[in-house]
Structure 1
Amino acid sequence: MSDTARNVVLVSIDSLRADHCGFLGDDRGLTPTMDHLASTGTSFEAAVAPGPQTFSSMPAAFTGHHRELGSLDEYFGDTHWERRLTAIDDHLGRYTSVAEQFQELGYSTAGFSPNPWTSTASGFDRGFDHFADLAGESDDSWIRRLAGGVPGVDDSNKAVELTLNLLTGSSFFTPWESYYGQIEAVREQLSEPYFLWVFLLDTHYPFLPARKHRHEQSFYGMISSALRSEKVMRGRAQTMSDRTCESMQRSYRDSVRSVDSFLDRLRTDLADDDPAMIVHSDHGESFSDHGNYGHHHRQLYEENVHVPYIVNDGRCEATITDPTSLATIPEVALSIARYGRFEPGELTDAPAIATSECGTNRAIRDRQFKYLEHDGEPSLFELPLDPEEERDVSSEYPERCAESRSRLDRVQRHRLEMAAVSKAARVVAGSDRRL
């Protein structure tokens, strides 16, 4: 480690699409802070999320290793939700996380997460001296107790539930303002050098930004569109009206403004610490693109896996156009910690691969082509000519498809072999030894 070890801040943003960021081509002025960080740092213009959902993306972004593919049935738990948490925890127990590696380097570490898939229940607290599990905070607030005691008020009703979530900040809605004070207090306790990780949930459905961030949407429109879109965005219905979708996207854009405001405040408040900042989204979001909504469909089109990824260390300014996986985040962060710098050109050698949780959907991309498999059905898109992925050219390039499929198969076999070796080693050692 260098004599002048840098403080490192990692900010993970839920569900932020790349095409809503100015430095990636958007012209609506939603992300001035991110745009500044990109222009004075390193931006990865073709960053690829390891998966289309938090639980398939963040484990790789935190360890540098993709999750093992396959059924969740082998994992402990009475419900699908519990088995998924166990699977994530198993992955983070198998590989040393970025936080644990910072801790081994002598860093003070602190993490904040309101997302249950990146919580103590899933093992994301490993390696943190202080971990604020905002997803585990009790919903037993005075507002809920009061509502539960009012005759005729059914707090399981979707309209009532959404209103209570808005008031209490719960159930995938925890605005960053509600815990920013905790971040400030913990920062005062951290010794330098430190590693600080913050997960932002504001751009995750139901998109309920605070009033000061609502430039396009009214309060009524925000609540109304959230209620009308709820079944579709949760994967329990197929479509919504154009009017509802357009209104919901206004709420989403205001949510993007909200997370950019967080970055501006954090950057300002930590200016004296001069941290290297790494900012990324865990995956994107669909708004009727390819007939999909949200991310529960688990497909791997660009709206769901093309994400913003910025590294601003005050030393390197570059624009990387080659596809780069978020699985490179630990390598980047730890290179800055050890040597005070990183080499962005060395991060694009590995294939940029995205997979759904159980492997039914797979994608691999290079500078020109993106190969996808959805439930075994292949398709190929020439992204420079077809960024919207509207024209399947797989029949024109059968050899390219075969090569991509073979490469995905090799990577998948390697992941399964590494998982088997790791499990066997842990059984033999009878300990929690990890790779």
Structure 2
Amino acid sequence: MDGDQPRNLVLVTVDSLRADHCGFVDPESELTPTIDRFASDGVSFTDAIAPGPRTPSSVPVVFTGEFMSDDDDWTMADWQGRQRRIARHMKRFTHLSERLQRRGYETAAFTANPWTTRESNFDFGFDDFFEISADSDDISSSDLSNSTLFKLADWGFESIPGDPVGWSSKKEWFSQWTGYFHLIQSKLRELSEPFFLWVFILDSHQPYITPRQYREECSAWEMYYSILRYWYGEISDDEIPPHAREMIGRTYRDAVRSVDAFVESLFEATDEHDPITVFFSDHGEALGEHGSFGHKQTLYEENVRVPFFVHNAGLTDEVDEQLPLRALPRMLTDLVDPGDFDPRTYTRPFVVSQTENNRSRAVRTERWKLVTDGTNETLYDLASDPDETTDVHAEYDDVASSLRAVVRRHDATQAEKERTGRVAEELVAEGRV
């Protein structure tokens, strides 16, 4: 591409990838040699923080740069209600995809996550939008996974009357990048430059289904046994026997290896287009820490600290300051504009994360983290207690007080934005603007 032309841009989102399983964040990890290589060749952020511990509390914020407002009717059990809440948020704010589309970019998305769909208005700003799911009209069922085991499981569970394990609602989480990667390659051949391509993969999301060629620690039966441990009942540390706990950790590590292979394949496929590539995870994943597995409504480090790097932006750097993921829309806009890219422009001394419907909030500095639900609060010293095992609120009340003030300012800002938004919506409804 001519140097005077806008750069192509690729955004890679990986579901549930822990920061400490990537070697460029934690050198003790050897799971991600490809990710580490591209991170070291570009700008790596070793302390990136997600706005929430789950996709519904994270990705809508990442795409818009704005936290979601409260919803009095919200419940965890109401899947459709949660989707509608996301859809309202995505309709209210301009997406990063819309910003790039307005700058003349051809835009395309492949998303395997069921929270980021047309139903939740994530297709706004995309010329082509592909949902990778079991009931999607965008792909054939054969593209969901090329695993023989998956196809056998699908046939077997579908033949059982009554769907006793809930397979019909769970199988969309079994998508593997190897099943639909040819669709991404095909779309790359069609895109006009400059283009923006977003790919959101689920491979490190539970149930950690990994193609055979990337499994190094678990056999097929161990992988599927781990899945069943998740499916039967609410998972907590005291319900998992030691052998199953270790098995879940091994299956997750194999899933991370598959993610690394995906990154290698995507970089090879996009190499001729010379794009700037931004890579991050939407949130982390618990593997027994604090008595839980997966990503529940908690704000511990394993849930909100994520890997993040920018590759091929004309700069090599390692940034240790805190990066809030909600800075992404501004970062992408800056990356496609002429001028120097300053990665530290997007870091912040205080970073706020919150659970769905803002029931619990955390404010984090490089050393401290205060977690509060409005009634109870806990203070952690991340420097001396990175595992967040001890509340030091009593010893450092002055620190807790200052961080509490940050939370109050955050809450007040969000309340003012909500009031302004309601007024604007009323004016539009009345035809006055």
Which residue in 1 is equivalent to 2:351?
Answer: 352
SS at match of 1:3: coil
Which residue in 2 is equivalent to 1:95?
Answer: 93
Letter aligned with residue 315 of structure 1: G
Which residue in 1 is equivalent to 2:148?
Answer: none
Which residue in 2 is equivalent to 1:293?
Answer: 293
SS at match of 2:277: strand
SS at match of 1:6: coil
> How many angstroms apart in 1 are the aligned matches of 2:430 and 2:285?
40
> How many angstroms apart in 1 are the aligned matches of 2:358 and 2:266?
37
Q: Aligned pair count?
A: 420
With over 3 angstroms needed to count, the CA separation of the structure-2 counterparts of 1:290 and 1:4, relative to structure 1, is same
1:415 is the counterpart of 2:421: no
With over 3 angstroms needed to count, the CA separation of the structure-2 counterparts of 1:356 and 1:426, relative to structure 1, is same
Deviates more, 1:317-326 or 1:271-280: 317-326
Spell out the pairing of 1:101-140 with structure 2 (5 A cutoff): 101-135=99-133, 136-137=135-136
> How many angstroms apart in 1 are the aligned matches of 2:156 and 2:303?
37
Q: Confirm or deny: 8 A CA contact 2:45 2:309 kept in the other structure.
A: yes
With over 3 angstroms needed to count, the CA separation of the structure-2 counterparts of 1:250 and 1:382, relative to structure 1, is same
SS at match of 2:356: coil
With over 3 angstroms needed to count, the CA separation of the structure-2 counterparts of 1:395 and 1:149, relative to structure 1, is closer
> How many angstroms apart in 2 are the aligned matches of 1:377 and 1:218?
44
Q: TM-score, normalised to structure 2's length?
A: 0.90
With over 3 angstroms needed to count, the CA separation of the structure-2 counterparts of 1:366 and 1:236, relative to structure 1, is closer
Q: What whole-Å deviation, never above 9, does each CA across 1:194-251 have from its counterpart, x for those lacking one?
A: 000000101111111010110111001001121123235x559962112111101111
Q: What whole-Å deviation, never above 9, does each CA across 1:297-325 have from its counterpart, x for those lacking one?
A: x1101000011111113411111111111
Query: Among the aligned pairs, what percent are the same residue?
Result: 35
SS at match of 2:196: strand
**Shift of residue 71, structure 1, vs aligned partner:** 3.1
Q: Confirm or deny: 8 A CA contact 1:229 1:245 kept in the other structure.
A: no
Spell out the pairing of 1:63-78 with structure 2 (5 A cutoff): 63-73=64-74
Which residue in 1 is equivalent to 2:198?
Answer: 197
> How many angstroms apart in 2 are the aligned matches of 1:385 and 1:271?
43
With over 3 angstroms needed to count, the CA separation of the structure-2 counterparts of 1:274 and 1:422, relative to structure 1, is same
Q: Confirm or deny: 8 A CA contact 1:72 1:84 kept in the other structure.
A: no
1:226 is the counterpart of 2:233: no
With over 3 angstroms needed to count, the CA separation of the structure-2 counterparts of 1:301 and 1:79, relative to structure 1, is closer
In structure 2, runs of 5+ residues without a counterpart are 143-150
SS at match of 1:33: helix
1:8 is the counterpart of 2:20: no
> How many angstroms apart in 2 are the aligned matches of 1:63 and 1:149?
39
Letter aligned with residue 29 of structure 1: E
With over 3 angstroms needed to count, the CA separation of the structure-2 counterparts of 1:341 and 1:218, relative to structure 1, is farther
Letter aligned with residue 40 of structure 2: S
**Shift of residue 157, structure 1, vs aligned partner:** 2.5
> How many angstroms apart in 1 are the aligned matches of 2:192 and 2:232?
46
Letter aligned with residue 240 of structure 1: I
Spell out the pairing of 1:36-435 with structure 2 (5 A cutoff): 36-73=37-74, 80-135=78-133, 136-137=135-136, 147=156, 150=159, 153-154=160-161, 156-158=163-165, 161=167, 170-231=171-232, 239-296=239-296, 298-339=297-338, 341-349=340-348, 351-374=350-373, 376-430=375-429
**Shift of residue 368, structure 1, vs aligned partner:** 1.6
Letter aligned with residue 333 of structure 2: L
Q: Confirm or deny: 8 A CA contact 1:313 1:341 kept in the other structure.
A: no
Letter aligned with residue 389 of structure 2: E
> How many angstroms apart in 1 are the aligned matches of 2:66 and 2:6?
25
Q: What whole-Å deviation, never above 9, does each CA across 1:53-78 have from its counterpart, x for those lacking one?
A: 000000111111111134344x9xx9
SS at match of 2:174: coil
**Shift of residue 433, structure 1, vs aligned partner:** 12
**Shift of residue 428, structure 1, vs aligned partner:** 0.9
> How many angstroms apart in 1 are the aligned matches of 2:155 and 2:210?
24
Q: Confirm or deny: 8 A CA contact 1:231 1:237 kept in the other structure.
A: no
> How many angstroms apart in 2 are the aligned matches of 1:12 and 1:83?
24
Q: Confirm or deny: 8 A CA contact 1:300 1:355 kept in the other structure.
A: yes
> How many angstroms apart in 2 are the aligned matches of 1:63 and 1:174?
26
Q: What whole-Å deviation, never above 9, does each CA across 1:345-378 have from its counterpart, x for those lacking one?
A: 1112363111001222111111221111257321
Which residue in 1 is equivalent to 2:145?
Answer: none
Deviates more, 1:85-94 or 1:405-414: 405-414
**Shift of residue 402, structure 1, vs aligned partner:** 1.5
SS at match of 1:58: helix
SS at match of 1:246: helix
Which residue in 1 is equivalent to 2:146?
Answer: none
**RMSD of aligned Cα (Å):** 2.7
**Shift of residue 388, structure 1, vs aligned partner:** 1.0
Which residue in 2 is equivalent to 1:24?
Answer: 25
SS at match of 1:338: coil
> How many angstroms apart in 1 are the aligned matches of 2:380 and 2:304?
14
Q: Confirm or deny: 8 A CA contact 1:94 1:433 kept in the other structure.
A: no
With over 3 angstroms needed to count, the CA separation of the structure-2 counterparts of 1:245 and 1:425, relative to structure 1, is same
> How many angstroms apart in 2 are the aligned matches of 1:206 and 1:334?
35
**Shift of residue 161, structure 1, vs aligned partner:** 3.0
